Amino acid sequence: MTAPLRSGDPITVNVALGDRAYDIAIGRGLLATLGERIAKLRPGCKVAIVTDATVAKHHLAAAQASLSAAGIESSSIKVPSGESSKSFRHFEQVCDALLAAKIERGDLVVALGGGVVGDLGGFCSAVVRRGVDYVQVPTTLLAQVDSSVGGKTAINSRHGKNLIGVFYQPILVVADTAVLDTLPEREFRAGYAETVKYGLLGDADFFEWLDVNWRDVFAGGPAREHAIAVSCRAKAAIVARDERETGDRMLLNLGHTFGHAFEAAAGFSDRLLHGEAVGLGMSLAFEFSARRGLIAKDEADRAIAHLAAAGLPTHVRAVPGLNWPGLDAMMDLISQDKKVKRGQLAFILVRGIGKAFVTRDVEAAEVRVFLQEKLKI
């Protein structure tokens, strides 16, 4: 399989949600079209840009220039870079700033940044004045293929990741692949975990393509744009079928039950990025599935080897400088997973590459034994 996109050709993916449907625009240089796109959607609106300190240095001026060229008045709200901004404190800060900027229901919020900014900006949009429309402008690979699409907005709690939030869809996603050129390699690798996830959970052909072409995805150009477009199509199709995560959408959490627990144990810090935690979690999910006889060990090993080759952690020992909490604490974090129903754990396991499924027949004792071995407790 070869990438069908030529570099520079934008592509549009529609998220089919009836009267709340919206487009994902993907391609190089699309940040310059932000103002024009917003003017067509909401003529006469005012815009508040929520961003973080790092993204602001690289892309805020370009976003503001595009809005200004379209005759759109804008202001900006900056939060610190990193997962710590998904907190009650910064949620309050952004909501207050939106009110101070006199953003009304007919105006727009633009979330310009990675997954943290998208989640925080979207959640604030959902609750300020009981709902202001917003546009996602994702600036990381992880955000472009995953968190900017589908309307999940949230902040973290000391009890776990993304436990306080709402489903609130954007009205547009603008994924400018050129902004990824400024992304540190570690951040790109973290985003790649969410990209290959789509192949591992439901598209074996995409995994096969990535297994051959992942280095070209990292290098940029048509392969990168193809990978982003395939990922967005996959997520858009699942979201259209199951917007509020009562069925198929849970498959998108492959690797997240384990991953979120490890991310929380690391203090939501840059010691373990979200995508790294997902890579680790997917490795554990494939190994756990093989232990249960659901997938052949060599096939599970192949998936894990691909993640390792891309530079993602596949063993707990591969995360440097972390003193993991006790087994009881890790099990408590897993029990806070949002898919838990009446105390029963839900796991996304696999019967093969591209064959993920949701199950609730995993006993906590079985998980405990598995984690005890992984943590060497």
Burial of residue 291 (number of CB atoms within 10 Å: 0-12, 13-18, 19+): middle
Say whether 245 is catalytic: yes
CA dihedral 119, 121, 127, 130 (to 10 degrees): -130
Spatial contact of 276 and 312, defined as CB atoms under 8 Å apart: yes
pLDDT at 41: 97
In this chain, the answer to whether the domains covering 11-182 and 254-377 adopt an identical fold is no
pLDDT tens by residue, the chain, 377 residues: 444 545 557 899 999 999 999 999 999 999 999 999 999 999 999 999 999 999 999 999 999 999 999 999 999 999 999 999 999 999 999 999 999 999 999 999 999 999 999 999 999 999 999 999 999 999 999 999 999 999 999 999 988 889 999 999 999 999 999 999 989 999 999 999 999 999 999 999 999 999 999 999 999 889 999 999 999 999 999 999 999 988 889 999 999 999 999 998 888 888 899 999 999 999 999 999 999 999 999 999 999 999 999 999 999 888 876 677 888 999 988 887 656 665 677 899 999 999 999 998 899 899 999 999 988 75
The first and second tokens of residue 116, run together, are: 């943290």
pLDDT at 267: 85
Spatial contact of 148 and 182, defined as CB atoms under 8 Å apart: no
Residue tagged active-site, from 161, 260, 306, 338: 260
Spatial contact of 46 and 108, defined as CB atoms under 8 Å apart: yes
pLDDT at 344: 74
Domain ranges for the chain, please list them.
Answer: 11-182, 254-377
Say whether 14 is catalytic: no
Residue tagged active-site, from 189, 274, 338, 374: 274
pLDDT at 5: 46
Say whether 256 is catalytic: yes
CA atoms of 153 and 289, how far apart (whole Å): 30
Say whether 241 is catalytic: no
Residue tagged active-site, from 83, 187, 194, 225: 194
Q: Could you give the C-alpha distances from 197 to 7, 52, 137, 144, 202, in angstroms and in order?
A: 24, 27, 22, 14, 8
pLDDT at 268: 85
Say whether 130 is catalytic: yes
CA atoms of 135 and 139, how far apart (whole Å): 13
CA atoms of 224 and 177, how far apart (whole Å): 8
- In terms of CATH architecture, what is 11-182? 3-Layer(aba) Sandwich (3.40)
Residue tagged active-site, from 86, 233, 256, 374: 256
Say whether 162 is catalytic: no
Residue tagged active-site, from 42, 59, 249, 306: 249
* CATH H-level, domain 254-377: superfamily: Dehydroquinate synthase-like - alpha domain (1.20.1090.10)
Say whether 374 is catalytic: no
Residue tagged active-site, from 213, 225, 253, 306: 253
Say whether 90 is catalytic: no
Residue tagged active-site, from 187, 245, 263, 287: 245
Residue tagged active-site, from 42, 86, 152, 226: 152
